[in-house]
Structure 1
Amino acid sequence: MASKGLSGHLSSLGVTQIMLGLIQLTFGIPLFFIARHAHGSAFATPFWTGIWYIISGAVSTEIKDLSNNFKVKLVFAANAFSAVVAGIGIIEYSRNLCYPGSYYATWRPAAPFTLPAILQYYTVVELIMAIGCAILIGSHLFRCCNINSVSPA
């Protein structure tokens, strides 16, 4: 019963991760073309972060049976790596907000600041989601033996 509820929670968190990845990709396209010389755009940060969020969300929604230990470890690893990717994305967007650098779109001064700010917000949300998924699956994966059970002597 508990595994059914856990897989339901992971499934809903995975769908949210997929939506956050699609948002990253959607806002990343204008960032790439408007602020081409910004830090986040130069490394194509919205694209690889968005794609990885979609992958980790798809892996999280796929798990139905928590008895398969390989799938549980795969979901844990995907969400842990997604948290690392989100952390790198936050650093890149912070660099862009602190040091906007030179850009050629001087007739649109708000775009190089607004898009990375929006993307950084969604990257922080993804970091929270990935850590939440990793904690949920980690509590199932790394649980200790049942204290109330009696072992045969």
Structure 2
Amino acid sequence: MDSTPIVSSLSNQVNPSTLKPMKNFYLGEPLALGITQILIGIMGIVFGIMMDIAIPYASHSDYFRQKTPYWTGILYIISGSVSVKASKTPKMPWVKGMLVMNVVSTVAAAAGIVIASISFIFYYLRPRGPIRNGIQTVLFIFTIVEFCITISTAAFGCRTVCRDTYAETIVVVYQNMTPDNAVSQPAACKDPETA
């Protein structure tokens, strides 16, 4: 038999779902973060409804007059749903959609933080009641958590999508050795136990 090495490239035979970018994508836990985004969106909408029912509209802060819990909550639910779908179906279009929706949700969460901060400064520094201040504080905390989640999910999505190449080259070296050829090997290549 011939002792020349045979080099085989398996880059075309690798399953795309097992590529390294997709493995990095799963390190970001898109399923858990997507479910958390959905829950935060639902809770934001529920607290917005509670605020609309419990307190007259004329005494609402800018945060509630602009219906911030509703439009941010809807965006959080959409981005969370796309994240869950991307984690269950790891295809590049879903990962790209997840990246776009999480960037949009990051901008919405940043806007929500700014609006809530302005409402705190100009409206909630005067005592208005524990319900109003409590709901506003809970929604502010949810918005900060959502901001952190969307940034981390978008970062892992970007690490997956923003690459020059997706092909991984795996090199396998086969070397056929017969017992006759093993005798003629240099001393450095022989098994140390048999030498």
Q: TM-score, normalised by structure 2?
A: 0.65
| Matched residue SS, 1:143 | coil
Name the structure 1 match of 2:97. Answer: 74
- Asked if residue 19 in structure 1 is aligned to residue 39 in structure 2, the reply is yes
Checking the alignment, whether the CA contact within 8 Å between 1:20 and 1:50 is kept in structure 2 is yes
Whose radius of gyration is greater, 1 or 2?
Answer: 2
Picking from 64, 76, 93, the partner of 2:116 is 93
Q: Cα RMSD over matched residues?
A: 2.7
| Matched residue SS, 2:129 | coil
Q: Which AA in structure 1 matches 2:83?
A: S
Report deviation, 1:21.
0.7
1:39-118 matches, within 5 Å, as: 39-63=62-86, 64-66=88-90, 68-100=91-123, 109-118=129-138
Q: Which AA in structure 2 matches 1:75?
A: M
List structure 1 segments (4+ residues) > 6 angstroms apart after TM superposition: none
Q: TM-score, normalised by structure 1?
A: 0.82
Picking from 118, 130, 137, the partner of 2:157 is 137
Q: Distance in 1 between matches of 2:78 and 2:165?
A: 32
Report deviation, 1:81.
0.2
Checking the alignment, whether the CA contact within 8 Å between 1:100 and 1:112 is kept in structure 2 is no
Q: Distance in 2 between matches of 1:4 and 1:72?
A: 12
Name the structure 2 match of 1:121. Answer: 141
Percent of paired sites with the same residue: 30
Q: Distance in 2 between matches of 1:35 and 1:114?
A: 16
Report deviation, 1:123.
0.2
Structure 1 segments unaligned to the other structure (5+ residues): none
| Matched residue SS, 1:99 | helix
How many residue pairs match? The answer is 145
Name the structure 2 match of 1:6. Answer: 25
Q: Which has the higher helix share?
A: 1
Report deviation, 1:87.
0.6
| Matched residue SS, 2:106 | helix
